[in-house]
Amino acid sequence: MTLNLYLDSSDFSDLSLPSALRKPLDGDTLNFLREGIYNNSITLFYSPVHICEIIPEGSHANELSIGRASLISELCGDNLLLVPSEIMSMEISNLNNGIKMQNCASSILAPRDKFLGVCSINPSLIEHRQHILSLFEKEIAHLPRRDRRKIQSTFNFESSSGRNKWRQLFAGKIDNVKLTYPFDVLPKKLLIDWLVGDADQKHIAYHLLLIANDAKRLVSSLQHMPSVSKQLYELVRDHGEKWQNHQIDIISKLRPSLIAANDTRAPIRPFIRNIIKQSDFFSSALLSQTDGALSLTETEAFNFISQCHGFNIIINLFLENIISLIEANYSSFMSGKDKIIVGKASDFADFMHSVYIPYVDKLRCDSRTGSFLRRINLFPDRIIDKRINLLNL
């Protein structure tokens, strides 16, 4: 039986280091994973969160990030999963419409016609082709009018001899033209075949989709696509910043109740959890995720979210994080201090990996996320918070 496995970003980072820099345990782990994949006993998956964490926003790919992406390509192939927000929205929509969703990786695989399963990469190929051809026409713009007409009459795409002339021109000039993504990563021969009309749009679109869903080529190309890079950040890390601000609002609103209802004899954690449950926490979370489209009572929202397995994990991690922050700030609250100690926005990016737990057999995570996941006690048998335990699979 094949084990579906999701690794932590730190695994891809450490395992992809050059062998001279790699720790012995990491070398053993990498060999174990490669053998499992070869024997079909392990299938690895990756997500847009992995890609987002390889290259910080605004920077360029370097040797280490390319190596990390190369390892993702080697171990995971095209097993790309949907972005977390899409999974949560899909769970809510399916449940609301009475559709039973299967808890398996195949149900959340990213569509192959999307860039990282997020945005369409199906550009107007005709417009792009015309644009590229216009660049080559500029190459002969300096010639006398008679010479330009002669060239244009012989460079006829309708005849094989004309296409051959275009092919010869492209072969000599294409390196001088700055192409945009994804055309800049197409094999030169395939690009020329397409430009002269020997490769149709369906064929070129197929190759573009292969490139767009290849982790190594994708990471190499993100520096040419600032708008897509920004979109990925909005889907993952900017979302984390919004949640960070949201938790500050929740803690600020709960502070008077915590102070007024303080009972030092009560265990602090159950006491805090009970206060939060009285604050419409789950109904507010559901309203936020559905942009106000689904308004339920707190009890109804709690029961609804509990059936959306990935969303349920994220919301309960968020709740657990709030409880931990209140614990950390509790003495300050009682002494009248206003400043609230909060975690980093990047912590929520770490949490986002956890949305995949219901859909894989095992998920690797860092020790902090692992401790939070064990506290909420959802799919605890699927958590691997120490890399060495991968060798025991």
What's the rounded mean pLDDT across residues 256-272? 65
> How far, CA to CA in Å, does 362 sit from each of 6, 150, 209, 233?
6, 66, 29, 26
> pLDDT category, 144, cuts 50, 70, 90?
confident
Question: Which residue has better confidence, 73 or 161?
Answer: 73
pLDDT value at residue 112: 74
Alpha-carbon gap, residue 117 to 321, rounded angstroms:
29
Lowest mean pLDDT among 75-89, 167-181, 371-385: 167-181
Say if CB 360 and CB 45 are below 8 A apart.
yes
Lowest mean pLDDT among 30-44, 143-157, 363-377: 143-157
Q: What is the mean pLDDT of the chain?
A: 80
> pLDDT category, 23, cuts 50, 70, 90?
very high
Taking the model in full, what pTM does it have? 0.78
> pLDDT category, 263, cuts 50, 70, 90?
low
Instruction: Encode pLDDT of 153-207 as tens digits.
Output: 777 777 788 788 778 777 776 666 666 666 666 777 888 888 788 888 778 778 8
Question: Which residue has better confidence, 242 or 272?
Answer: 272
Alpha-carbon gap, residue 243 to 141, rounded angstroms:
55
pLDDT value at residue 48: 85
> How far, CA to CA in Å, does 303 sit from each of 170, 279, 283?
62, 16, 10
Alpha-carbon gap, residue 87 to 338, rounded angstroms:
37
pLDDT value at 361 more than 60: yes
* C-alpha triplet 357, 360, 366: angle, nearest 5°: 50
Count other C-beta atoms under 10 Å from residue 331's C-beta: 9
Nearest to 353 by CA among 82, 138, 18: 82
Instruction: Encode pLDDT of 221-261 as tens digits.
Output: 766 666 666 666 666 655 656 666 667 777 777 777 666 66
Collapsing DSSP states into helix, strand and coil, what is residue 174? helix
What's the rounded mean pLDDT across residues 115-140? 65
pLDDT value at residue 90: 93
pLDDT value at 26 more than 70: yes
Lowest mean pLDDT among 50-54, 142-146, 150-154: 150-154
Alpha-carbon gap, residue 121 to 144, rounded angstroms:
40
pLDDT value at residue 64: 84
pLDDT value at residue 47: 92
Residue ranges covered by each domain of the chain: 125-210, 236-355
pLDDT value at residue 235: 61
pLDDT value at residue 180: 63
What's the rounded mean pLDDT across residues 260-286? 71
pLDDT value at residue 92: 94
